[in-house]
Amino acid sequence: MMNTHDRQEFDQFLRRQARLLAAEGLRALGTVYDQVGPRIVRYVRAIVRHHDDAEDVLQATLLKLMKHPEALSRAEHPWAYLLRIARNEALTLLDRQKSIDLLSSFPDIDVSTHDVCWQIDLGDAVAAALQHLPPNQKEVIVLKIWEDLTFLEIASILGESPNTVASRYRYALEKLEHLLESSRQHKP
């Protein structure tokens, strides 16, 4: 998790990279990819079904960034802005895949996988509990805990009010606590 100072530095880094993208084009894209690629894929996997789909969303996100780097350089919170682009691209992908119900099409997050994007060492009970959260709560948990975003930033990404996002987070934590307590009580 990043502290406020680190987040500000990361936002400044993204602004600088956006200006370089505008000036140098593709030559500057590698650095952006290295810094944000795995994090965007990790987040997008909370929305789409497969790692390959998440990689496709990453590519679409970077393509959008290449077309309009000035928008990222002007954004108040560049990292949240870039995640919003990624979310929109993920939802577009789901639409193209003819998903009838976007929220129910979000997969269970497999935090026990050893894949590069999920280098999160959680106990089996926590992983199982996380998989039982409703998709909209799971998405807020990923953005809050793993991306360390504020409720205001998450609200701007999801197109919801900060109060709705905070409520989803609170309910998710309560459900996780209940699920973990239940699993502990059922252990021999």
> For residue 99, how many other CB atoms are within 10 A of its CB?
16
AA letter at 29: L
| The model scores a pTM over 0.85 | no
pLDDT digits (tens, 9 = 90+) for 35-56: 999 999 999 988 887 889 999 9
> For residue 162, how many other CB atoms are within 10 A of its CB?
14
State how far Cα 63 lies from the chain centre.
18
pLDDT band of 18, cuts 50, 70, 90: very high
The two tokens of residue 69 are 């780097």
pLDDT at 122: 44
pLDDT band of 103, cuts 50, 70, 90: very low
pLDDT band of 135, cuts 50, 70, 90: confident
pLDDT at 121: 35
Angle between helix axes 78-96 and 51-67 (nearest 10 degrees) is: 120
pLDDT band of 116, cuts 50, 70, 90: very low
Contact assessment for residue 165 and residue 151, using Cβ atoms and an 8 Å cutoff: yes
